[in-house]
Structure formats: C-alpha cells, structure tokens
C-alpha cells in the first residue's frame, strides 16, 4: 500500500493511511470469506487457495484506497496540519477513485497473468532449453528438471525483490511492512498497543506473505516431482508445444501447492516459539530482511491505527474482547 497498512481479522478488515497533510484516515468494514458460505472451502489444503485469492482482492482494493487518499486536497480552512497519531474515519466523499467491479477484476487478472508468466511459464521454458546445454535432463518427468526449475524461480523472485527494493517508494512500503509485523507482535504478546512498546519487537514474523511465497516455490518442486513422472511423453509434439502443454498442467496445480504452503505457514505460526522449530525455520525468515525495513514512529502509528480499527470492529461483531490468538493477518 501507499503510506498505509491493511489489517484483517476473522470478521473485519481495516485500512489505515497517512495522507500528505499528516492525518491518518481509517476505513474499516465487516469482512466475510467465501468459505463462510461454502463450508467445504474451510477444509485444510483447500483454504490456502481461497486465502490467496481473497488476499489478492483485499490487497488491490486497499492499494486503490491508499492511492486515492494521496490525492485528497488538504482542508484549506485549517492551518497546515502537523503529523498526527490520531486516526479519523474516512469520509464517504473521500473514497472516490477506488477500484471497483470490473476495474478491480481486470487489474487482478492482469496481475495474476503476469505472475504466472514470470514465475511459472518463464522458469519452465528456461529449464527446458537450458538443461540440455548444461548436460542435465530436459525430461519434465525427471526430478532434476523440477530442481533446476525451482532454482530459476527462486533466482527470479529474489532478483525481482532486490530490483524493486532500490526504488524509494518501495523502500517506504517495506518500512510499513515492518511496522505491520511489529504491531502484530506487540498484540500477540499482550502488550499495550502504543509506539513505545511496538518499536522493540522484530520486523520479521513467521506468518509473513514473503515466507509463504518461498514455501510455494519449495512445495511446487516437491509436488511437480511427484506428479509429472505420471505424465505422458507427448513425443510427437514439437518441443515448444509440448512444454506449453506441461505449463498449462502446472497452472491449476498451483492451487494445491498454495494450499499445502498455507498449512505449513499456519503450523509455523503455532510453533514459532519452540526452539527446535525456530532454528529450522530461520533460513526461511531471512528473505523477510529484503521485504521489510525498520519503520519510524509515524509508520508504526499507522500500523497500530489499522490494527486497533480491525480489533474494535471484531469486538463489536463477536460481542467480546479479542484475544491474541494469532488470527489477525
């Protein structure tokens, strides 16, 4: 998001954004998962794919909202506002410019297609054409094929993060990412939700989406290695056409891959305090050092504003105080 943070609890969603005039504005609403209507989608290994698509939708709506808030003209009847930690509910007239309906759907489809192209199609084709040059099997049914494919995916992912992290605006986004993690830590440990207590916590968190994406890459290697030996050779087809067919098979397989990865992330959240698990999991946390930066006090204020708004609405909906049960995302 642009100068903002999104927080989601089981039944509520809140977005907090700092406008150019220094004010923090908050938009919160009830949130309902499609799995509330289709109970089957709550089952393990199915809920991960649902979570992925719902998070994409929430993220793009939040991004559009935060972008719109950066264009709001300051109130000329007031003196220049000092940066404030006091959050205000956004006015209906200031919600214009958000992506809705077909605009949101079109943006999501484009982003999803770009992601599939960059992280599924490109690595597969590179592996198919580079492996023979390296003396490695180019047979998609071999484990070496998917091992190289995974290495290429990882290289593209890390390279992409390193490239965008050099952009000043993205560096600030990564600071807000760090503020989000710190605020979740302070909530989960039952401490006061203020800047002083929040600043001391680490900017890394075991349930981060960056770690989820790393697990997607690793799990995809295992899943494809297990499934593709059962695929036909398609020997009569041209090499490019044959590999495009295999890519088309991989795309729907990303849904169970996401489901398995999500279950691992959930387990990581529950086991994060256990010393043995922490040591095993630590290498996966290193990637977060690229996607999070240390936030300043003002950015932590925004993250806390989003967290408090989500918790307040959750409390209203549930009729009682919200406990730190690791359900806030």
Model confidence pLDDT, tens digit, residues 110-161: 888 888 899 899 999 999 999 998 888 888 999 999 999 999 999 999 999 9
Looking at residue 104, its pLDDT comes to: 63
Tell me what percent of the residues of the chain surpass a pLDDT of 70: 87
Rg (CA), the chain: 22
pLDDT for residue 277 is more than 80? no
pLDDT for residue 72 is more than 90? no
Looking at residue 97, its pLDDT comes to: 55
pLDDT for residue 237 is more than 80? yes
**For residues 58-78, average pLDDT:** 77
**Range scoring the smallest mean pLDDT among 7-21, 94-108, 192-206:** 94-108
Looking at residue 100, its pLDDT comes to: 54
pLDDT for residue 197 is more than 50? yes
- The DSSP bridge pattern shows strands 24-30 and 87-89 to be parallel
Least Cα distance to 3 among 55, 48, 70 occurs for: 70
* pTM of the predicted protein model: 0.84
**Range scoring the smallest mean pLDDT among 68-72, 222-226, 288-292, 312-316:** 68-72
**Range scoring the smallest mean pLDDT among 187-191, 199-203, 204-208:** 204-208
Looking at residue 323, its pLDDT comes to: 66
Looking at residue 99, its pLDDT comes to: 54
Looking at residue 163, its pLDDT comes to: 93
Domain ranges of the chain: 4-318
**Range scoring the smallest mean pLDDT among 1-10, 171-180, 182-191, 229-238:** 229-238
| Dist CA 304 CA 143 (whole Å) | 46
Looking at residue 265, its pLDDT comes to: 82
Looking at residue 77, its pLDDT comes to: 42
Tens of pLDDT, residue by residue over 82-116, are 556 667 887 765 665 555 556 666 777 888 888 88
How does the average pLDDT of the chain come out, rounded? 85
* Listed ranges 128-137, 193-202, 272-281; the one with the highest mean pLDDT: 193-202
Token pair of 236, please?
């009569």
Is residue 96 exposed (0-12), middle (13-18) or buried (19+ Cβ within 10 Å)? Answer: exposed
Token pair of 52, please?
């992925």
What pLDDT band is residue 233 in, cutting at 50, 70 and 90? confident
Looking at residue 41, its pLDDT comes to: 84
Least Cα distance to 5 among 298, 234, 214 occurs for: 298
Looking at residue 42, its pLDDT comes to: 85
């Amino acid at each position: 998001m642009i100068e903002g943070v999104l927080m989601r609890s089981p039944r509520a969603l809140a977005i907090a954004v700092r406008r150019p005039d220094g004010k923090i504005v908050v938009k919160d609403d009830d949130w309902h998962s499609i799995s509330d209507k289709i109970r089957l989608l709550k089952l393990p290994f199915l809920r991960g794919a649902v979570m992925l698509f719902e998070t994409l939708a929430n993220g793009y709506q939040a991004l559009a909202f935060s972008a719109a808030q950066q264009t709001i003209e300051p109130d000329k009847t007031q003196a220049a506002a000092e940066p404030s930690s006091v959050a205000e509910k956004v006015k209906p007239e200031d919600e214009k410019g958000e992506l809705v309906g077909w605009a949101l759907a079109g943006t999501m489809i484009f982003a999803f297609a770009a992601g599939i192209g960059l992280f599924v199609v490109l690595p597969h084709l590179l592996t198919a054409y580079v492996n023979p040059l390296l003396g490695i099997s180019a047979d998609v049914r071999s484990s070496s094929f998917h091992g190289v494919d995974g290495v290429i995916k990882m290289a593209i992912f890390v390279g992409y993060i390193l490239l965008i992290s050099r952009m000043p605006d993205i560096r600030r986004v990564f600071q807000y990412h760090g503020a989000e993690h710190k605020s979740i830590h302070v909530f989960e440990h039952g401490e006061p939700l203020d800047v002083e207590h929040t600043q001391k916590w680490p900017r890394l968190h075991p349930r981060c989406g960056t770690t989820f994406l790393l697990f997607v890459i690793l799990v995809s290697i295992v899943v494809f290695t297990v499934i593709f030996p059962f695929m036909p050779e398609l020997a009569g087809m041209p090499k490019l056409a044959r590999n495009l067919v295999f890519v088309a098979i991989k795309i729907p397989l990303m849904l169970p891959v996401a489901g398995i990865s999500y279950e691992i992330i959930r387990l990581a959240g529950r086991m994060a305090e256990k010393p043995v698990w922490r040591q095993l999991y630590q290498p996966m946390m290193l990637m977060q050092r690229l996607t999070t930066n240390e936030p300043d006090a003002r950015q932590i204020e925004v993250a806390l504003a989003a967290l408090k708004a989500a918790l307040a609405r959750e409390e209203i909906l549930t009729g009682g105080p919200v406990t730190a049960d690791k359900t806030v995302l």
